[in-house]
Amino acid sequence: MRTKIKYENAPIRIKRAFQEMQIVDDFLPPPNKLVLKEKTKKITINLSENSLSFFKEAAKQYKVPYQQMIKELLDKYTSHYNKVK
Q: What is the CATH code for 40-85?
A: 1.10.1220.10
Residue 53 backbone dihedrals phi, psi, to 5 degrees = -60, -45
Answering whether pTM is above 0.85, one says no
CA distance 29 to 53: 34
pLDDT for 1 equals 66
| Per-domain boundaries in the chain | 40-85
CA distance 83 to 53: 31
Full pLDDT tens readout for the chain, 85 residues = 677 766 677 778 877 887 888 887 877 777 777 777 788 899 999 999 999 999 999 999 999 999 999 999 999 999 889 887 6
- Sign of the torsion angle spanned by Cα atoms 75, 76, 79, 80: negative
Query: Between vectors from CA 31 to CA 83 and to CA 67, what angle results, nearest 5°?
Result: 55
